Amino acid sequence: MFLVSVLRYALFLLVPLSLGFTSYLYLYPAFHLCAFPTPEHDPSSAYVNTLRQHALPSLYDASKVAPFRLLALGDPQLEGDSSIGYIESTTLPNLRKFFQDALLLDGTEHNLLQRVRHSLHDIIDFWLDDIPKALEVYRKRFDHVGNDYYLGHIYRTLHWWLDPTHVTVLGDLVGSQWIDEEEFEARGRRFWNRVFRHGERIPDEVMSEPSENFSNTKILGEDAAAWKKWIINVAGNHDIGYAGDLSKDRLVRFERVFGKPNYELRFQLPLDNAPLNATLEVSETDAREVPEIRIMILNDMNLDTPVSDKELQDESYKFLNDIISTSHAVDRPALFTLVLTHIPLYKDAGICVDGPFFDFFDGEFENGVKEQNHLSRDASKGMLEGIFGMSGSSEAPGKGMGRHGIVLTGHDHEGCDSYHHINQSLPSEEQEWKANRYVDVKHLDGQEGIPGLREITVRSMMGDFAGNAGLLSLWFDREKWEWEYEFVNCGLGTQHIWWFVHILDLITVLAGVGYVIGWGVERVMGVQRKGSNRKPKKRVTFEMDEVDEDGKKKGVDVNGIAHGDVRNVKRPS
């Protein structure tokens, strides 16, 4: 059969292409040389060690791996039906109207001509309006399903390949704060069951409030399997709204589905040759402080004014003040402060893709903040000087250099790597916080007299932004008795890659199934045709005259020639 031949040759092309592209898609971190940074500061060594973990486990060196590895994902923004126009077209309203007009089901009285005219109008609208719009709705719904699996593919593939100790999503988990409860719950189910399948919400008892006598410090490495599954979710503007439209109901539903908007986590690093449960006691006998990581999950959506709900803003500032008042001394060594929040700190235009921008409601929501790209100067200054203890005065505790740490944010989908700093040598009236691209002022990091802090805005994991993920490693330098960190990005590529590979795989499977069916049919038909073309065997009959005892002849039909006295043998007819 011609079709079978076509499919056979097509499979010669499709199978290797499918295997190649599918291998790339499901092993893309390996192809892109993705690996968590290591204390060696050698990307090649880190990648080779990661590769060994999967290919040659016996050669894998766990001692070269950072003890804290954070997989940071930004702004998945799960969309739903509320983002699709003409959703009512799926009910085919003009077709229903056609039956109403044709059969007068709505009780109206029309003559025959009017009924025909209305019915024709309805049926035309059905074909030219309902059908195209309904098809577009289903296309977008299908696209949402594909997008979920694309995002989920990023999470699961990186989670498997990189083996992170912790995972965070930096806000905008869903695509709109204006959706109703039913739609919010539906997107929440998609988030947990499809995108972050096998991931779990952090238990309430683990999400701790700041306290002078903090008793919920975890040991880094304990409950490793649980922490790998728990997702540290940050509240974004599309989750709960900006200061103007943030409400108690939106906060409550976010906390119910994704976790608290404000809390802290503390981890201490086990010391060599000490049992894990003894780590907290080592500091009593050792002059040096126990290495500790303090993670603050901060809702910064209503730190700026005006706000529609002053009570909610008071709660945010109370949490912020509690964080500051319960912090360790600024000059405490072996402490690393990690802030996870959504809206980036203030920067002048040109530093990142998004420049400073504020918009406000007009005549509603107490004229509160409707949209903002950055925190205000004052809110940013409060975070830098409050949480991190930095100061323009060298007379401040710790010489004003502040606590060692970093800020991870989302919101700006393009991503940005910046450095906030202040020059203590300038007169106080001229001092102000400035921000520059980190790559341009990297030499200022840690420089005496210039307190500074790095802020990384993680590029979005959405397909339009190449499916990016941030990889943050923290390790402890025992010689300096300080934490060190390094951050890199790892991207898959646009969502079209995911669609292309799976469509190609589907075509290959269908071609393979078609070929097997066609080959089977061809074999069956070939056997039948061979049987029908076989020539029938002729039966040869001989008539022989035999003489009986009385000398009379009698004819006998036999196959072949019989033994005996044969006479007058006739040719077979």
* Nearest CA among 355, 333, 359 for reference residue 346: 355
* pLDDT at 357 > cutoff 80: yes
DSSP for residue 442 = G
Q: Are residues 475 and 567 in the same domain?
A: no
Cα-based angle 139, 144, 149 (whole degrees, multiple of 5): 125
Paired residues of 174 in beta bridges: 78
Is 322 within a domain? yes
* pLDDT at 69 > cutoff 90: yes
Of 434, 460, 491, the residue that ends a domain is 491
Is 157 within a domain? yes
Is 59 within a domain? no
Is 518 within a domain? no
| Alpha helices (H) in 330-435, listed in sequence order | 377-382
Is 281 within a domain? yes
Residues spanned by the domain of 567? 540-573
Crossing angle between the packed helical segments 248-257 and 181-190, to the nearest 10 degrees: 30
Paired residues of 168 in beta bridges: 72, 232
Is 97 within a domain? no
Q: Are residues 487 and 561 in the same domain?
A: no
pLDDT band at 548 (very low <50, low <70, confident <90, very high): low
CA distance 456 to 461: 15
pLDDT tens profile 165-191: 999 999 999 999 999 999 999 999 999
Q: Are residues 148 and 280 in the same domain?
A: yes
Q: CATH number of the domain that 149 lies in?
A: 3.60.21
Structure tokens at 383: 């975070």
Q: What are phi and psi of 17, to 5 degrees?
A: -65, -45
Q: Are residues 277 and 406 in the same domain?
A: yes
CA distance 40 to 22: 33
Q: Are residues 487 and 364 in the same domain?
A: yes
Is 14 within a domain? no
Is 31 within a domain? no
Q: Are residues 418 and 559 in the same domain?
A: no
Q: Are residues 390 and 470 in the same domain?
A: yes
Instruction: Give me the sheet containing 482-491, strands edge to edge.
Output: 200-201, 230-233, 166-169, 68-73, 468-477, 482-491
Q: Are residues 570 and 441 in the same domain?
A: no
Q: Are residues 246 and 380 in the same domain?
A: yes
Place of tokens 């199978």: 15
CB 418 within 8 A of CB 433: no
Task: Say what the pLDDT of residue 276 is.
Answer: 39
* pLDDT at 486 > cutoff 70: yes
What is the domain count for the chain?
2
Q: Are residues 330 and 409 in the same domain?
A: yes
pTM for the model: 0.87
Residue 313, amino acid: Q
Task: Say what the pLDDT of residue 117 is.
Answer: 81
Task: Say what the pLDDT of residue 284 is.
Answer: 45
* Nearest CA among 261, 282, 260 for reference residue 272: 282
pLDDT tens profile 269-285: 987 634 334 444 444 44
CB 195 within 8 A of CB 169: no
CA distance 29 to 491: 8
Q: Are residues 205 and 325 in the same domain?
A: yes
Of 475, 491, 507, the residue that ends a domain is 491
Structure tokens at 485: 């960190």
Rg, C-alpha atoms of the chain:
38
pLDDT tens profile 102-139: 776 665 666 677 777 878 888 898 899 889 999 999 99
pLDDT tens profile 12-52: 999 999 999 999 999 999 999 999 999 999 999 999 999 99
Structure tokens at 496: 């079209």
Of 451, 472, 491, the residue that ends a domain is 491
Q: Are residues 338 and 485 in the same domain?
A: yes
DSSP for residue 540 = P
Bridge-based pairing of strands 263-268 and 335-340 is unpaired
